[in-house]
Each structure stands twice: as C-alpha cells, then as structure tokens.
Amino acid sequence: MDPVQTTLADEVREQVRRRRIDPQVEADAVRQLAIDVVAEHEKRSLTGAVRSLDEPDRIVGGIVADVAGFGPLQPFLDDPTVEEVWINEPCLVG
C-alpha cells in the first residue's frame, strides 16, 4: 500500500475509534470519513505541505476496503465476475 494511503487510513481508523463507529455495520460512515480525510489532504497539498494525490477516488476506495472491508481482497469480493478467491499463503504481494 502507498505510504500516504497508509497514513490516511490510520487517520480514518483513529476517527472511527473516537466516534465509536462500527466499520462492519457503518461502512457508509467510514466512506464519508475517508472522503473527508482525503479532501483535507488535498486541501493541504495546495499549500505545498504534502504532495497531491494522483487518484483520490482510488485512495478513498482503498481506505474503505482496508478499514471496513477485507483490504486487498475487497475488490475481488465486490466483483460479480469473480467466482472464487484462493489464498495460497499469508504474505502480502506488492
């Protein structure tokens, strides 16, 4: 995962904890928090304090998958054309 996305996901997780949001039940609230955090990051990027994100929507989706879903598996689980997912070993690729 991109280091910036990791930092933003950590910020969303902290807000989820503070607001006592259940990510499994309130995925829409997690998505809104991710949108807000990414928007704030993009706002800071206008000052040059941080770099701008190339694909903010992709980052939001990744954060939501990481915080309220199954991380890198989530896109496959959401894809109606994927019939099965095999996991050969518990290591991260990327």
> Are 59 and 12 spatial neighbours (Cβ–Cβ below 8 Å)?
no
Kind and range of the H or E run holding 33? helix 27-45
72: DSSP letter? G
pLDDT in tens, 17-53: 999 999 999 999 999 999 999 999 999 999 999 999 9
Please give the model's pTM, rounded to 2 decimal places. 0.82
* Cβ atoms of residues 26 and 64 within 8 Å: no
Q: What are the pLDDT digits (tens) for 4-26? A: 999 999 999 999 999 999 999 99
**Which pLDDT score, from 0 to 100, does residue 72 have?**
86
What value does the mean pLDDT take over residues 53-74?
93
* Count of CA atoms in the C-beta half-sphere (13 A) of 15: 19
CA 48 to the chain's CA centroid: 23
